[in-house]
Structure 1
Amino acid sequence: MNTGSLPHLFGRLAALERRIRDAVAARRQADPNPDDPFRGLYLSDEAVETLLASRREPFVPFQSSAAAGRLGRLAEVAGLSGLDVELLLVALAPDVDSRFEQFYGYLNDDVTRRRATAGLALRLCGLPEASAAGRSRLDPSSPLLAAGLLVVEDRERPFLSRSLRVPDRVVDHLLGDDRPDAALSGVARVVDEPVLTADVGRLVQALRAKVRLVYLRERPGGGARELAAAALTHAGFTVLEVDAARLRAEPDHTELATAVLREAVLLGAGVVLGPVEDEPLLRTLAHPSVPLLVHGVDVWNPQWSVDPPLLHDALTLAATSRADLWRERLDGKLAPGVDPAAATAHFVLGPGQIARAARAASVSALVDGGAVTTAHLRAGARSQNAAGLQRLARRIEPAVTWDDLVLPVGVVGLLHELAARARHRDRVIDEWRMRPGGGRGRGVTGLFAGDSGTGKTMSAEVIAASLGLDLYTVNLATVVDKYVGETEKNLERIFTEASGVNGVLLFDEADAIFGKRSEVRDAHDRYANIESAYLLQRMETFDGIAVLATNLRANLDDAFTRRLDVVVDFPVPDEHLRRVLWDKCLGDTAPRTEVDLGFLSSAFELAGGHIRSAAVTAAYLAAEAGRPVGMAEVVGAVAREYRKLGRLVGAREFGPYMDLVLS
């Protein structure tokens, strides 16, 4: 707590007290009954006659002098004139010295009015009550009121009898207390050590050139908030970071916005505000001495502010910058041979997210009793995923690996290619610039086509696991809507939320929403085509990793397949793959007797999903019978699977084991 400015403040209040003594003496000379014990409770006839016979003149004018210490710095930042400072002192006095409450009660001729009124404050400053220049200093647009340093209360009263009050936060600041306003808890905070981010030279130059409104458009992984905070710090300002969403949600958000501006003026800070959507609060926070750096994901709307801002894009951090941030935050904590840049190259994270992810990884490693590993790094990175997508899609933590896939070699190769595209897109797209122009995003998209149970969903899960990402499967029930335009809105919400998530987005049964456009015969066809056209454009601008899975590839619009990076056809497994599938699905953890895998793979033409379902059913049958899994349980499970598929259960397929089915 800094109290070095108090002698000057108390000296100014002592000078005010001397003027009040003179005012009291003058008042007593003109008072027809100065010793009346009920003074201030009523008006006598003599007092009324005195009021009618005289004019209310100002008291002895104050001698203007430069303010020093905190009061002087506040006057400089807020643009206060000498009169403003004196009005502030008049209103401040009762909060510093309780005697002034009685002084003002006497001078107001009302013992219940223990603060200075506008009229009394003007007269104590040597101005007539009708002075237009003096009254303008108490106007809502004046420096004192606009910055929230002074409050004019009792708006229902005539102007001259309205009370003046200095907010407690201003009083505390002038007395040396630097604690932030408690009313701003959860809405605003002072950033002590901004995360170093991309080059801030242009922004620092603008701030030093007195540019006071900047709009930073957030790109995925760009870190606009951190960029703004770093620029303010380099320009010599304290950073006051404001959560615009929380501020808007408060019922008294206008008063809180004024409190934010007041805090910035008191601290000599710049304000970082975001994310913005539509900001009437910008007018409240505008101040010639307070830099306002606003960030959001949309383009700037000129209607938000009369003054045009400096526009700046917070671009995705380069891979080298992200790597440097990881190493800086994890210096000395990494396990031998762990490269954070390689482990997290495909994660699109901003500088603040990297800092938090590094802390999360460090905590996990501490709990595990060792150094930070690749698994810790990726878990920390996933912890920064926004939660909004989980309301629109089902989140799956991958639990399978490449070894769990039983697919033809060519199919596995294409899956590896899709994972490689996700892993190396920074180098190919950003460094080598292999996708210039056209407004295309940095996304990686693939199509998985094949019959049900051929491994499409599992393959998407394996790709997510290999990248250390979560898998989000989109529920079509939350997307498709019978009302015109609603499907597009639902998809836009999904794509928007997915842009803030490092994960793999899986659209199962994709032909339902990515179907072919048709000839327009009625209004339904027209709107269906509009929906498809929207999806074509949105897929091109998507920056994430998306997989479309379908059982009916022929139903997909050709324009979609042209925009896809990898198309993978999943065939029904042949006899060799079916044998491997039976062996893997039955596993080696559940007890089993001799099972004829050769017969199962040659006799039953089932896809992998059906084989897995049959294996699980066989395990349940064995558990109920209290014995290991044998051919009786497996054949019985296959028969149940056949019935689910609508197939006949006959001797042709089941051969020598038909008796087991009948039993």
Structure 2
Amino acid sequence: MAEHTSADGQLRDLLAAAVRIEQRVRRAVEARRRTDPQPDDEFRGLYLTQETVRRLLEEGRPFPAPEPEPVPGEALPDIPLAELRREFGLTALDVEILLIALVPDLDDRFEAFYGYLNDDVTRRRPSIGLALGLCGLTPADAAARARLGPYAPLRAGGLLLVEEADRPFLSRALRVPDRVTAHLLGDRTTDPRLADLLAPWHPVEGVGDAKALAGAVDSGVLLAYLREDQGGAGTALAATALALTGRGVLGLDLARLAADPTPVEAVRALVREGRLTGAGLVCAPVDALAREHPALLRLLTDSPLPTVLVGRVPWDAGWSAAGPPLPLRAPRVEPAVRARLWREAYPGPAPLPPDLDISLLLSPFLLTPDQIEGAARGAAQTAALSDGPVAAADVRRGARAQNAAGLDRLARRIEPSVGWSDLVLPADAHAQLRELTARARYRDQVLGTWGMRPGGGRGRGVSALFAGDSGTGKTMSAEVIAADLGLDLYTVDLATVIDKYVGETEKNLERIFSEAAGVNGVLLFDEADAIFGKRSDVKDAHDRYANVESAYLLQRMESFDGLAILATNLRANLDDAFTRRLDLVIDFPIPDADHRRLLWDRALGSTLPRSPSLDLDFCADSFELAGGNIRSIAITAAYLSAASGTPVTMPTLIHAIQREYQKLGRLTLASEFGEYLSLLT
């Protein structure tokens, strides 16, 4: 009820301020009628009479102008119109012209008045010449005309539109935008033009030194740039700082702005909205405009409002004509704050188990405050399907749902379905994989809280090399790590990234790393030796550019903030400078007989029918095969068993082994097949 009362009061005050406009219009109409030879002509405004033409030729005007009336200079009452005058730097004449253009939207009688005064019934808004005349000014008054120029406060601020640009200046129509009219009437609804561009960024406690940024804004700083890494809290920090200054927050999604068909118009509407409502601007991500739309960034940085830009790219001096911004670093959300935000955003109704460690479950993920809130809502939705309490899998699934989709176009996504119990590896390799998982899970504590982050521009990422023959479990191990951390696995075949044209390989890799920066996942580079080979002496152009590719990848891997695993079959081919920069190098040997026996048993599974005579000990002792080959043989044997309708027998298994040997191009030696040599076809 209070809002309606306030709006009614603002309407009364605004109408009271417009009374003098009505008085001006009445005097102008009366003056027109006194000198009009046919004041009641029904077709007035549709044609020119001979008398009108005579007056134009002899007197210079068809009708005398109303007597000049001075523009009032007294202060306006404390209504939104007075606030506009202060915010937009309007003069008393500007306010009078604004009211002249506004009254048709408050009282439809003025449409008829203006049509009559324009001597054209189709032109029902005031023209520039009519507005100047109603203010007692001559059309030749240069100072008065300048108040309606494109850079004058009324038009530059978006408070007044001058339409029909193809007409002479004095006959162009004036119109007040609907949003400005609504604001003056007390409507605080955001401009519908911005509905698809605004982001709901809001203040969040505990995400950095917001007081320092707020103090800078209060001291007169209008432009700041918060540079952040993946999972940074830049938008939350900016919104918190603006809120501390007593301002509202208008969040602009720059990626949506880049796709808008009329972005310049959108930016102007945004700035006007901020000035109308006393808000500051939070704009992110700068990366969306940096390359292809720098002019939009210059338009935003030229705003008279406090503006905080957030992005990951370095600041370019060409983005601001007003000078450099205040440079700040946006922190990541600390683990304790991360858990608090998740719990505050969790909507229920499924209960939260008291032993559910949200902080630990979210530790492998780099999430912004908005993404944390989205993850909490996603966890509630998945828990509702099981009609039980929220489980760890629900928390992780909700966090994975915040991933961007761009990397799916450049890499193959694998949703992990295996665990530690599925791995058959030597104890040392198994222990190193556990250590790699611990690095990913506790990096915030070690590199952030404890300050163990190395210098040299290295990110917070974790990188490892898996080296071993094909089929020894490298990809499966990466999948197990992803499953343990609750992440998706993205596999990239580096052999497909290499391009014969100079510079294209680096571009392909940069696209992958850029998209991976928006994804919480494990990034697996297969066939790493295809590009991470040893740098050689430069003997021709090919050697030089091959070395450039390797050097670029070394640098890019160090600055990557995610979990990257490189797999290679040929460790000896890798550059020593590259392996030195890795956190772990894990060797995957060909399994010994004991491990092969376990692999045979697991590959055949528990549901596949087996003959009692199946001699898996013989298979493990006789055939030196990797786990991938054993798995392939088991699948072939299963198909043969299904076709014959019998359990897997030793002849079936020997036949499947023979087919695998043929695939590998290996000879079938009597020493390997022993007593089963006769079963070969």
Q: TM-score range by the shorter chain?
A: over 0.9
| CA spacing shift, 1:303–1:165, aligned 2, 3 Å | same
Report the residue type matching 2:478 in the other structure. Answer: A
Q: Name which of 552, 563, 575 aligns with 2:581.
A: 563
What secondary structure does 2:502 align onto? Answer: coil
Q: What pairs up with 1:220-369 in 2 under 5 angstroms?
A: 220-276=230-286, 277-278=289-290, 279-285=294-300, 290-308=305-323, 309-330=325-346, 333-369=351-387
| Equivalent in the alignment of 2:28 | 23
What is aligned with 1:654?
A: 673
Contact in 2 for aligned 1:326/1:341 (Cα 8 Å): no
Given that 1:180 and 1:263 are in contact with CA atoms closer than 8 Å, whether structure 2 keeps it comes out as yes
For residues 465 and 35 of structure 1, do their structure 2 counterparts lie closer, same or farther at Cα, with a shift above 3 Å needed?
A: closer
- Is 2:647 the counterpart of 1:628? yes
CA contact (8 A) 1:188 1:260 kept: no
Q: Quick one: which amino acid aligns to residue 535 of structure 2?
A: R
Name the CA distance, whole Å, in 2 between partners of 1:87 and 1:102: 18
The one-letter code of the counterpart of 1:368 is S
Shift of 1:298: 0.9
Whichever residue aligns with residue 574 of structure 1, its letter is D
Indicate the SS of the match to 1:139.
Answer: coil
TM-score norm. by structure 1 comes to 0.95
- Choose 269-278 or 405-414, whichever is displaced more: 269-278
- Listed one character per residue, the Cα deviations across residues 328-369 of structure 1 (whole Å, up to 9, x for unaligned) are 334984213111111221211111111111111122122221
- Corresponding residue of 1:120: 130
Map residues 406-425 of structure 1 onto 2, 5 A cutoff: 406-425=424-443
Note if 1:582 corresponds to 2:587: no
Q: Which moved more, 1:178-187 or 1:99-108?
A: 178-187
In the other structure, the counterpart of 1:490 is 508
The secondary structure found in structure 1 opposite 2:522 is strand
- SS of the residue corresponding to residue 481 of structure 1 reads coil
8 Å Cα contact 2:301/2:322 also seen in 1: no
Deviation (angstroms), 1:236? 1.6
Distance 1:590 1:502 in 2: 37
1:183 equivalent among 182, 193, 215 = 193
Show CA shifts across 1:432-461 (max 9, x none). Answer: 222342111111111111111111111111
The residue type paired with residue 53 of structure 1 is: E
What do the CA deviations read for 1:199-219 (whole angstroms, capped 9, x no partner)? 311121122223222222122
In the other structure, the counterpart of 1:60 is: 69
Of 378, 382, 387, which residue of structure 1 is paired with 2:405? 387
**Could you tell me how far 1:72 is from its partner in structure 2?**
2.3
C-alpha distance in structure 2 between counterparts of 1:189 and 1:243, whole Å: 6
SS of residue paired to 1:367: helix
Summarize the Cα distance change of 1:285–1:102 in structure 2 as closer, same or farther, 3 Å threshold.
Answer: farther
Q: 2:566 aligns to what?
A: 548
> Using a 3 Å threshold, how does the CA distance of structure 1 residues 247 and 581 change in structure 2: closer, same or farther?
same
Unaligned runs of 5+ in 2: none
Q: What's the offset of the Cα at 1:415?
A: 1.1
Give the superposition deviation at 1:147. Answer: 2.2
Match of 1:155 in 2: 165
* Cα RMSD (Å): 2.1
Q: 1:32, 1:47 within 8 Å by CA — same for their partners in 2?
A: no
1:207 lines up with 2:198 in the alignment: no
CA contact (8 A) 2:347 2:380 kept: no
Matched residue, 1:470: 488
Q: Partner of 1:3: helix, strand, or coil? A: helix
3-state SS of paired residue (1:4): helix
Structure 1 unaligned blocks of 5 or more: none
Deviation at 1:95, TM superposition (A): 1.6
Tell me by how many angstroms 1:253 deviates: 1.7
- Residue 592 of structure 1 aligns to which amino acid in structure 2? R
Instruction: Summarize deviations over 1:639-660 as a string: whole Å, max 9, x none.
Output: 1111111112243322222333
- Secondary structure at 2:190's aligned position in 1? coil
Rounded Cα–Cα distance in structure 1 between residues aligned with 2:53 and 2:265: 41
Deviations 1:53-100 (A, max 9, x none): 257756423433414322223333333222222111111111221111
Deviations 1:75-134 (A, max 9, x none): 333332222221111111112211111111111122222110111111212222222222
Post-superposition offset of 1:623: 0.8
Q: What residue identity is the alignment partner of 1:311?
A: P
Task: State the distance in 1 between where 2:167 and 2:116 align.
Answer: 19
1:260 and 1:436, CA in 2 relative to 1: closer, same or farther beyond 3 A? same
Q: For residues 192 and 464 of structure 1, do their structure 2 counterparts lie closer, same or farther at Cα, with a shift above 3 Å needed? A: closer
Determine helix, strand or coil for the equivalent of 2:249.
strand
Is residue 2:617 matched to residue 1:598? yes
* Contact preservation (8 Å) 2:94, 2:147: yes
CA distance change for structure 1 residues 534 and 289 in 2, over 3 Å: closer, same or farther? Answer: closer
What are the Cα deviations for residues 194-244 of structure 1, in whole angstroms up to 9, with x where unaligned?
Answer: 676333111211222232222221222112222222222222222221121
Contact 1:151 1:165 in 2 (8 A): yes
Aligned to 2:668, the other structure's residue is in SS state coil
1:24-46 CA-partner distances (Å, limit 9, x unpaired):
22233444554544432333443
Matched residue type, 2:72: Q
* 1:557 aligned partner, one-letter code: D
SS at 2:18's partner residue?
helix
Paired amino acid for 2:30: A
Cα distance 1:656–1:478, how it changes in 2: closer, same or farther (>3 A)?
Answer: closer
Give 1:171 shift.
1.9
156-165 or 230-239, which moves further after superposition?
Answer: 230-239
Give the deviation of 1:478 after TM superposition.
4.4
> Retained in 1: the 8 A contact 2:28–2:65?
no
Per-residue CA deviations over 1:288-329 (Å, capped at 9, x if unaligned) read 652222222112212112113222221222333323323433
- CA separation of 1:529/1:637 partners in 2, compared to 1, >3 Å: closer, same or farther? same
